[in-house]
Amino acid sequence: MDKQNLETITFGGGCFWCVDSVLDLLKGVESTTSGYAGGHKTNPTYEEVCTGETGHAEVVQLTYDPKIISYEQLMDVFFFLHDPTQLNRQGNDIGTQYRSVIFYNNEAEKANAESALKKSEATGKYTGKYVTEITKLEDFYPAEQYHQGYYEINPNQPYCSAVVGPKIAKFKKHFGELGMLNTETV
């Protein structure tokens, strides 16, 4: 991996345990960090974000090599991982912290995110209007250490075994067939 030309992307599609658990499996992803973005409180805690009063979304910020995996491919992954038509929720996870959101770093990323959203909408995979926000990234706050790689450490925790595990299996099947998984991490 070309560590000098790595880029970052930050997005939220529900619980960050679900999103983070699969992104490290992709070829070209250097690292992932669960965290919070899009709110008005400096350095919020998980408990504060869960109240919905800080305005933050649970997000994952990933660092990737665009020579190995493109922004567009990461957007395909993003729209695969969650239902972008559900406003402020994913399944039984309800609240603004679970909203569908793409944070961009510059105008080129904004245009790419808008294009990816339109492309995904055109597939007809989801019925209903997309509610995914496309917002400039102002601040990103890493979540507490116990949230980092949560599924790997807690695969038998009830939420993980009921929700995250099946999502990972579906993800591995789909993106494995596309040849996008890092065989060292699968």
Active site residues: 15
Under 8 Å CB-to-CB from 1, ≥6 apart: which residues?
Answer: 28, 30, 65, 68
State the Cα–Cα distance between residues 32 and 11, nearest whole angstrom.
11
State the Cα–Cα distance between residues 162 and 154, nearest whole angstrom.
12
Q: Write the single-letter amino acid at 74.
A: L
DSSP structure class, residue 17: H
What is the number of alpha carbons within 13 Å of residue 96 lying toward its C-beta?
A: 12
- Which residues on neighbouring strands pair with residue 135, listed in sequence order? 103
